[in-house]
Amino acid sequence: MKQFLGFDLGAESGRAMLGTLAGDQLQLEELHRFPNQPVRLPTGLYWDTLRLFYEMQQALEIAQRQRQLRLDGIGVDTWGVDFGLLGRDGALVDNPRHYRDARNNGQMERTFAVVPKAEIYAETGLQFMQFNSLFQWHAMHLAGSPALEVAHTLLFMPDLFNYFFTGIARAERSIASTSQFYNPVRKTFATELLRKLGLNPAILPPLVDSGTLLGPLLQADVPVFAVAGHDTASAVAAVPAQGDASWCYISSGTWSLMGVEWHEPVIHETAARFNLTNEIGVEGKVRLLKNIAGLWLWQECRRAWISEGTTYSYDEMTALASAAPPFSTLLHPDAFLEPGNMPARIAAHCRSTGHPVPQTHGEFCRAILEGLALRYRQVFETLQLVLNRKLTRIHIVGGGSRNHLLNQFVADACGVPVYAGPSEATVIGNILVQAMGARLLRNLEDIRHVVRRSFPVTLFEPQSQASWDAAYERFVRIQL
């Protein structure tokens, strides 16, 4: 029996999960959960990085001192793109900004004025989003950031926490591939692109693969592994798929990431036109995918209603959505990427696009879920077109896989079976990649075998596709 501690940090909260591996069975236990609340200062929106690390240290205290556990490994996964800067002395010289910080607004166009958009895509194969690391770094450069002048090392978020634990600075490949300055063909950082933008590639650390043993904790003889540091890469590793490559996945949470696992980067004019992204997964697999706004809209609506005095659980919101009339309002989820009063922003968007404004909380909830399912269908069709391959099933993993109404909507909208679960895919992938790094598992196939043996999956068959076909015809005409 081996025990691993997986730190999984998301946009709303972080947790430390104990994974106990016995043969081909994995059991999970939550040891510690903590909020992840960004901090707004006069200079911008920041992650509370040191508080997050303090909570991670508290989890280690629980595991080692209170529970007297003998840990066989530790691993950290987080969201993508954001980074911190270290000085020559190894100290943090600039606290990581939140990817929703306003400094990113309009930055893509400023970057494209120096290096054309087509050239950046040809070099990186990454989906264009204004908060990608490349644009954040270039924004700092254009603003004359003092932190850049003294920066010695750039570390993405999971790499930064690994450094705090071990003193070893490395860039794990899956998280590096979210940056838009990683070349997935050459499997190196795109240093020439960085130089053209006036950015110094010398501050980038060496790259390592998922599962690499970094070293021991600074104050204890516990191995720290560079797992698939991007949370989506960890989640995809835990997709319980087997057989041919006719499946696609949705990692469903604050963000939805929908794609396929592929054997090589797909970088050509059609992929660029659909703004698909080529990110790296376990064993160097390419995650050809699309970022979709996800349940962020639900979370923001819930937050707004709480501030008005009405508190719903997510199950209650699902029940409200189920009772609301279908297709009364069509929303494109990617129109709502910035924080704010989400119900008011949805209402304003509906008025500006000529769509009916939701009148009840249930109508807001249903419109969000239907909009997500229709957007999934759009990406589903795009993936089939780009790959010239028919996809026959969808695996939904992550917290969103617990929403049975959304799962059924996806099956109906896309017209294929949906397999939902495990909901804890991200931390499962984190822990099992540690086990692979410890040579307890051989490869990705072994990881998925353990997932199938350890966690249930729920099947949703298509039921009412005709009404979804009609709604989809209207959805594709929505202008963002």
| Strand intervals (E) in 355-450 | 393-397, 418-420
Active site (annotated) includes residue 209: no
Where b means 16+ CB within 10 Å and e means fewer, 415-444 reads ebebbbbbbbbbbbbbbbbbbbbbebbeeb
Q: How far apart are CA 344 and CA 50, in angstroms?
A: 34
With the C-alpha atoms ordered 340, 377, 445, 453, is the resulting torsion angle positive or negative? positive
Tokens read off for 1: 């029996």
Q: Which of 185, 184, 157, 183 is nearest to 171 (CA)?
A: 157
Q: What is the chain's Cα-based Rg? A: 22
Q: What is the DSSP letter of 274?
A: T
Helices (H) and strands (E) in the chain, counts: 18, 22
| Strand intervals (E) in 345-404 | 393-397
What's the length of the chain?
480
CB contact at 8 A, 195 and 47: no
Strands 73-77 and 2-9, by their bridges, are parallel
Q: How far apart are CA 96 and CA 307, in angstroms?
A: 28
Tokens read off for 132: 């990608």
- Which candidate in 48, 231, 244, 315 is catalytic? 231
Residues taking part in catalysis: 231
